[in-house]
Amino acid sequence: MSRDGGAGPRRGRPVRRAGGRPQRQERQRDDSAVGTEFEVEVGPVAHGGHCVARHGGRVVFVRHTIPGERVRVRVTEGGEGSKFWRADAVEVLEASPDRVQQPCPVARPGLCGGCDFQHVALPAQRELKAAVVAEQLRRLAGLELPVVVEAVPGDEDGLRWRTRTAFAVDAEGRAGLRRHRSHEVVVLEDCPITEGGVIGTGVLQERWQHAAQVEVAVGSGEGAPLVVVTPAEGEAVPRRLPLPRLREASLAVRTAPGTLEQRGGRTWLEERVVAAGAEHRFRVSGAGFWQVHPGAPAVLVEAVLGALGPQPGERALDLYAGAGLFAAALAEAVGVTGTVLAVESDARAVRDARRNLHGQGQVRLVASRVDEALAGGEAGERADVVVLDPPRSGAGRGVVERLAALGPRAVAYVACDPAALARDVATFGELGYRLQALRAFDLFPMTQHVECVALLVPAGES
């Protein structure tokens, strides 16, 4: 239902391991330093939700701290032969003025891994994320660029924004989220970053026997929340998986990848997006991708259109098109005299996009991997404007090379990972495109994640 996870369990409840799967911390070397404690001065923030410190000449990546603090840390991964260690700040000796009390009792060492920055004041969180984006562009693309992370409407001071959360299930059928870099499930009664409609289904109070995961989503349009249950692997699951009754929620079971068995209500959500003076309604299947922050779709559409400035009659590409969010907006902009080619490989997203883009004759939807579609000539010989919204791993050199060969006058690159963005921006630079503008948005408050929209144009243009 979404790209990433959620947040934490109730104080005092035991931490359980899900399904007997091994946890990473148990696979220790004979020279393990796990559990060792020492004091460090905390250095800069790094990509990944931690800060950099040094101890005995070794780099230590420390969570639950802030640059400039002095803390006592406990090693969570690493040994004498390791190049670096991972650690948690278990005691703050000299606090940063940006330190605050975490709103969630389990957003702390040894417990939920869903949030990285709950201990940091919200404006300072955005400064940390901006520093990470700027550092990745400097290190991987050789660019010095000021970065500001913008707030997005739709959350409550950084809380209650996650409209889609995938909860793991422990061996006793209780729902929660996993510890950082672990398979252990921390059982929850609430998750402060998750939208109230998700929590209001009662999913965290029920027992989910024979289940591995319970995904819950609420849409911005009409209809009840949707709960999708993934059965546990390796167990004798009853033919009709017994499920609890939920308050005012649709219910479905994932019977195979991309296939849902309806148990009550509908297996999709309606999303309503008002952006750039137009309203669009989208149908998104229970297993499909949609932005998790309620303000994200409109903010991203307006940022992309503002960057590209698509004109009537132009040829536009929407690569990694998903359910058709950007393709619908591009179709409005280029009009009936223009064309939009939308490319998506996920079968569920393609089905959604066909419904959502029906009636917009200027849009052609291709069910294919983006690299294969470009290599096969689906995009033709040229394009005027491009929306590039790849997965977290980025577009990659092959896609960027084929895209640059089409000679677009502007590319709007939507990125959820600053390192992948920087690598692809560097490749664009080799091929004659430069980064003209960058906007960053705080679509994932309390976590390390940040969304960017980068505008790339031919290097010779002003």
In a domain, 168, yes or no: no
Q: Which pLDDT belongs to residue 235? A: 57
Q: Which pLDDT belongs to residue 335? A: 97
pLDDT (average), residues 348-376: 96
The pairing of beta strand 164-169 with beta strand 211-217: antiparallel
Q: Is 261 annotated as a binding residue?
A: no
pLDDT (average), residues 49-65: 97
Q: Is 115 among the residues known to form the active site?
A: no
pLDDT band at 234 (very low <50, low <70, confident <90, very high): low
pLDDT exceeds 90 at position 236:
no
In a domain, 123, yes or no: no
Q: Which pLDDT belongs to residue 144? A: 96
Out of 120-134, 232-246, 311-325, which region has the weakest mean confidence (pLDDT)? 232-246
pLDDT exceeds 50 at position 286:
yes
Q: Is 344 annotated as a binding residue?
A: yes
Tell me the pTM. Answer: 0.91
Encode pLDDT of 392-445 as tens digits. 999 999 999 999 999 999 999 999 999 999 999 999 999 999 999 999 999 999
Q: What angle do CA 137, 386, 276 make, to 5 degrees?
A: 100
Q: Is 389 annotated as a binding residue?
A: yes
In a domain, 291, yes or no: yes
pLDDT (average), residues 177-197: 97
Q: Report in angstroms the alpha-carbon separations of 100 from 128, 352, 379, 454.
A: 15, 42, 51, 32
In a domain, 255, yes or no: no
In a domain, 17, yes or no: no
pLDDT band at 462 (very low <50, low <70, confident <90, very high): low
Out of 15-19, 79-83, 175-179, which region has the weakest mean confidence (pLDDT)? 15-19
Q: How many domains does the chain have?
A: 1
pLDDT exceeds 60 at position 337:
yes
pLDDT exceeds 80 at position 98:
yes
In a domain, 314, yes or no: yes
Q: Which of 51, 104, 112, 416 is catalytic?
A: 416
The dihedral built from the CA positions of residue 146, 147, 150 and 156, taken in this order, carries a sign that is negative
| Residues 278 and 329: beta-carbon distance below 8 Å | yes
Q: Which pLDDT belongs to residue 24? A: 44
The whole-angstrom separation of Cα 153 and Cα 275 is 13
pLDDT (average), residues 78-104: 97
Where do the H-state alpha helices sit in 6-48?
none
Enclosing H/E stretch for 315: strand 315-319
Q: What mean pLDDT is reported for the chain?
A: 92
pLDDT (average), residues 137-141: 98
The whole-angstrom separation of Cα 8 and Cα 176 is 7
pLDDT (average), residues 23-34: 63
Q: Helix (H, G, I), strand (E, B), or coil: what is residue 39? A: strand
Of residues 31 and 151, more confidently modeled = 151
Calculated CA dihedral for residues 144, 148, 149, 152, nearest 10 degrees? -140
Of residues 137 and 5, more confidently modeled = 137
Q: What is the CATH number of the domain that holds 352?
A: 3.40.50.150
The residues facing 440 across adjacent strands are 149, 452
The dihedral built from the CA positions of residue 353, 356, 361 and 363, taken in this order, carries a sign that is negative
pLDDT band at 460 (very low <50, low <70, confident <90, very high): confident
In a domain, 365, yes or no: yes
Within 13 Å and on the Cβ side, how many CA atoms surround 351? Answer: 11
Q: Which pLDDT belongs to residue 4? A: 40
pLDDT band at 238 (very low <50, low <70, confident <90, very high): low
Out of 39-48, 158-167, 235-244, which region has the weakest mean confidence (pLDDT)? 235-244
DSSP for 199-237 reads HTT-GGGSB-TTEEEEEEE--SSSS--EEEEEEPTTS--
In a domain, 184, yes or no: no
The whole-angstrom separation of Cα 384 and Cα 365 is 17
Q: Is 172 annotated as a binding residue?
A: no
Encode pLDDT of 291-314 as tens digits. 999 999 999 999 999 999 999 999
pLDDT exceeds 90 at position 19:
no
Encode pLDDT of 256-284 as tens digits. 777 888 899 999 999 999 999 999 999 99
Domain that holds residue 275: 270-458
